[in-house]
Amino acid sequence: MRRWPRKIWPRSLAWRIYLSEAAAIAAAVLVLPLATVNLLDQTIDKQQQALLAEQANRIAGQLAPNGQGVRVILAQPWRTVYASAFDGRAYLVVDGHGNVLARSPGSAGISTAAIPRSRAPEPFKDRRFIGWSRPVLAGGTALWVVVLQNEETSGAIIDDIARNFVWRDVALLIALLLLIPVAGAIFISRLSHGVRRAADQAAAMGPDAPGLRIDRTGLPEEVAQMASVTNDLVDRLEKSLSEHRAFIANVAHELLTPLATFRLRLDALDSASSKAQLEQSITRISHVVAQLRDLAELELVLETSERFDLNEVTIATIEACAPAIYDADHTVELHAAGPPVWVSGRRVLIELAIRNLIENAVRHTPAATHIRVEVLPEGGFVVDDNGPGLEPEIYEKIRKRFWSTDQSRGKGGGLGLGLSIIDRICQVHGGLFSIGSSPDGGTRCRVQIS
């Protein structure tokens, strides 16, 4: 099956219908007049042939021998009709050699050579004449009665009338055809409105709008079936996602108590080397558990947002992270905007994003690294460090879930969830998260809240 080229055939269903209608109407406008005129000509020819055949039969019944010729005896009103020839009608009687034995006025312009003389009645046409030739026996002699119609006389107006009528009829029909796209456009517009509404509802589905489904009201049956299937799929996905969230939260919660117990028992160990090694392992596991907990909390997105001062949130978060920063032999600096920076969103998630960026800078830079946090007046924040930095080719990779710069899961390794959590928080707030190089030579992470 031949396919339309993509550049010619539009992707829009409405435009496909419009083009199909336009093509059908254009074909009708071109073909219909020609077909109608041709059909009308054939009908007129058949009607005229039938009339001429009837008149030829009438004349054949009125032949009488007259010496070497014949005489046509016609009753009124036909005698007057053929005598005057006002409407272009005439007749001839010829023999097998083409000799004219009898004729009426108006037949002088016909060539006897053009008259067929066959054993069966036959129509013919010669220049301006159409005629009918009928064989007949008169006194044992084969003759042919020929009835003619001159199409150029003032009386022969049937063709002109018919053609004028058909062109007016075709013009009216074309006007009606042109109304079809108008009616179609109104119908398609209403149909497209329902489809666009369903598309908008489908686009709005997500963690921010749990329970939102496509409304089938007013949709065509074919589209309504797709909407039902989509709704069922979203139901299953939401159920699966809910179970997934609950599982992660339960795992993170169940691991907190054993980890706390391990930390208490570490104090009873006498071996400093064993104690340091176990502390390192517990710290790594604790970090993984914390990331799992953050991930579970993030996916349980609240439907409502609040308005808060980003300066205040940033200061509170840095104060909470300060002990861990200094324990790792790092320093931290805050550049807050002067007036309050009011933003709308989910405060707990913004705190989580700031904390994750600071902890990420602490964990993946050497001791004595300086961390600088700046609150942006337009609503956002930047976390810079003067560490070794990252290769530009991995800027996008490290934002993906479960991708980590420490592929070996070595010291201080994690699940690679930290930056992916921040990226998700930015998506929830309609913001942007970017990673680049810091002016100090390290890494810069920028969060812009919409």
Q: Rounded CA gap, 432 and 450, in Å?
A: 8
Comparing 212 with 416, the larger pLDDT belongs to: 212
Residues in the chain: 450
As a whole number, the mean pLDDT across the chain is 78
Comparing 405 with 306, the larger pLDDT belongs to: 306
CATH architecture of 304-448: 2-Layer Sandwich (3.30)
pLDDT band of residue 182 (cuts 50, 70, 90) is: confident
Look at residue 299 and tell me whether its pLDDT is greater than 60: no
Q: Rounded CA gap, 329 and 74, in Å?
A: 134
Q: Output the pTM of the full model.
A: 0.44
Three-state DSSP string of the chain: CCCCCCCCCCCCHHHHHHHHHHHHHHHHHHHHHHHHHHHHHHHHHHHHHHHHHHHHHHHHCCEEEECCEEEECCCCCHHHHHHHCCCCEEEEEEECCCCEEEECCCCCCCCHHHCCCCCCCEEEEECCEEEEEEEEEECCEEEEEEEEEECCCCCCCHHHHHHHHHHHHHHHHHHHHHHHHHHHHHHHHHHHHHHHHHHHHHHHCCCCCCCCCCCCCCCCHHHHHHHHHHHHHHHHHHHHHHHHHHHHHHHHHHHHHHHHHHHHHHCCCCCHHHHHHHHHHHHHHHHHHHHHHHHHHHHCCCCCCEEEEHHHHHHHHHHHHHHHHHHCCCEEEEECCCCCCEEEECHHHHHHHHHHHHHHHHHCCCCCCEEEEEEECCCEEEEEECCCCCCHHHCCHHHCCCCCCCCCCCCCCCCCCHHHHHHHHHHHCCCEEEEEECCCCCEEEEEECC
Q: Rounded CA gap, 401 and 272, in Å?
A: 36
- The pLDDT of residue 375 is 95
- Going by C-beta distance under 8 Å and a sequence separation of 6 or more, which residues neighbour residue 402? 415, 416, 417, 420
- β-bridge mates for residue 323, sequence order: none
- Going by C-beta distance under 8 Å and a sequence separation of 6 or more, which residues neighbour residue 294? 352, 356, 417, 421
Query: Average pLDDT for residues 332-355, to the nearest whole number?
Result: 88
- The pLDDT of residue 412 is 43
- The pLDDT of residue 80 is 82
pLDDT band of residue 236 (cuts 50, 70, 90) is: confident
- Going by C-beta distance under 8 Å and a sequence separation of 6 or more, which residues neighbour residue 188? 14, 17, 18
pLDDT band of residue 349 (cuts 50, 70, 90) is: confident
Least confident residue range of 51-55, 74-78, 275-279: 275-279
- The pLDDT of residue 173 is 73
The CATH number assigned to the domain with range 14-160 reads 3.30.450
- The pLDDT of residue 3 is 53
Domain ranges of the chain: 14-160, 304-448
Is residue 324 within 8 Å of residue 363, measured between CB atoms? no
